[in-house]
Chains A and B, each alone.
Chain A
Amino acid sequence: MTPSAYVAAAPAAQVNSGLAQLSDDLMIIAILVYAVALLAFTIELGYGRRRRTVAEAAEEAAPEFAGVAAAGRTTAAAGESATSAVAGAGAVTETGAAATGAPGASAASGRHGPADDAAGATHRAGAVGLAATVLGFLVHGGMVATRGLAVDRWPWGNMYEFVAAITLGAVGTFLVVAFRYRARYLGAFVLIPVLLALAINVRYLYVDAGPLVPALHSYWIAIHVTAAIIATGAFTVSGASTVMYLMADRAERKRAAGEAVKGVLGRLPGAALLDRLAHRTVVFGFPLWTFAVIAGAIWADEAWGRYWGWDPKEVWSFITWVVYAGYLHSRATAGWRGRKAAIVSLIGFACLLFNFFAVNILFSGLHSYGGV
Chain B
Amino acid sequence: MTQTTLRDIETRQDGGPRPAGLGPLGWLRWGWRQLTSMRTALILLFLLAVAAAPGSYLPQRGVDPGKVTAYFQQHKELAPILDRLSLFDVYSAPWFAAIYLLLFISLAGCVIPRLGQHTRALRARPPAAPRNLGRLPYHATFTVTDAPADVLAAARATLRGYRADGTETTVAAEKGYARETGNLLFHFALLALLLAVGAGAAFGYRGNVLLNEGSGFANTVAAYDRYIPGSLVGAGDLQPFSAHLEDFAATYVTEGRTRGQASSFTAKLRYRESPESPERPYDLRVNHPLEVDGARLYLLGHGYAPVFKVTDGNGEVPWDGPVPFLPRDQITYTSEGVVKAPDAGPDQLAFLGYFFPTSGKTADGKLTSTFPAPDDPTVTLLSFKGDLGLDAGVPQSVYAIEAKGLTKIGKSTTLRPGETLELPDGAGSITFTGYREWASLQITSDPGRTWALVAAVLAIAGLLPALTVRRRRVWVRARAGDGGRTVVEVGGLTKADGDGFAPEFDEITEGLRARLRAAPPSVGDKE
Contact = CB atoms under 8 A, between A and B. Distances in A.
B406 interface: no
B254 A7 contact: yes
A91 to B, nearest CB: 9
Contacts, number: 249
Given A6-B373, A79-B527, A98-B509, A214 B286 contact: yes
A310 B60 contact: yes
Interface string B325-350: 00000000000000000000000000
Interface string B458-473: 0110011001100000
Contacts of B2: 110
Interface stretch (B134-142, B383-391, B394-402): B134-142
A315 B42 contact: no
Given A294-B456, A363-B57, A111 B3 contact: yes
Interface string A88-127: 0010000111111000000111111100100000000000
Interface stretch (B112-120, B165-173, B308-316, B493-501): B493-501
Nearest to A81: B143
Nearest to A293: B456
A77 B300 CA distance: 77
Most B CB within 10 A of own CB, among A85, A210, A312, A322: A85
Contacts of A11: 253, 255-256, 258
Interface residues of A, number: 89
Query: In this complex, which of B2, B142, B145, B254 has the most chain A Cβ atoms within 10 angstroms of its Cβ?
Result: B142
B52 A111 contact: no
B42 A330 contact: yes
B302 to A, nearest CB: 10
Interface in A8-37: 8-12
A300 to B, nearest CB: 10
A112 B144 CA distance: 28
12 contacts: A4-B373, A7-B251, A82-B142, A84-B140, A86-B141, A98-B138, A210-B256, A215-B286, A272-B498, A310-B56, A319-B49, A323-B46
Given A307-B446, A328-B467, A329-B42, 7 more contacts: A99-B140, A215-B287, A294-B456, A310-B56, A311-B63, A329-B41, A331-B496
B53 interface: yes
A277 B510 CA distance: 26
Given A305-B298, A309-B63, A8 B263 contact: yes
Nearest to A355: B56
Contacts of B437: 1-2
A68 interface: no
A330 B145 CA distance: 48
A80 B464 contact: no
Interface stretch (B24-32, B68-76, B242-250): B242-250
A335 B145 CA distance: 47
Interface string B35-48: 00011011001101
Given A84-B141, A322-B45, A10 B255 contact: yes
A44 to B, nearest CB: 25
Interface of A: 1-2, 4, 6-12, 77-86, 90, 95-100, 107-113, 116, 208, 210-211, 213-215, 217-218, 220, 272, 275-276, 283, 286-287, 290-291, 294, 297-299, 301-312, 315-316, 318-319, 322-323, 325-326, 328-336, 351, 359, 363, 365
B139 A10 contact: no
Contact of A214 (B141, B264, B498): B264
A283 B182 CA distance: 14
B408 interface: no
| Residue among A11, A302, A308, A363 having the largest count of chain B Cβ atoms under 10 Å | A11
B265 interface: yes
Contact of B139 (A9, A12, A85, A208): A85
B517 interface: yes
B152 interface: no
Interface stretch (B7-15, B156-164, B216-224, B232-240): B7-15
Interface centre among A98, A107, A287, A351 (most CB of B within 10 A): A98
B287 A217 contact: yes
B499 to A, nearest CB: 7
A110 B3 contact: yes
A109 B286 contact: no
A10 B253 contact: yes
Interface string B417-458: 000000000000000000011000010101001001100110
The 5 A-B residue pairs with the shortest CB-CB distance, nearest first, are A98-B140, A10-B255, A312-B56, A85-B141, A305-B298
Contacts of A116: 498
Given A90-B140, A318-B52, A99 B3 contact: no
A108 B254 CA distance: 72
A239 to B, nearest CB: 18
Nearest to B262: A214
Contacts of A298: 453
A2 B467 CA distance: 54
Contacts of B485: 79
Given A99-B140, A218-B287, A326-B46, A310 B3 contact: no
Contacts of B62: 309-310
B135 A322 contact: no
A315 B56 contact: yes
A1 to B, nearest CB: 7
A85 B135 CA distance: 10
A152 to B, nearest CB: 13
B257 interface: yes
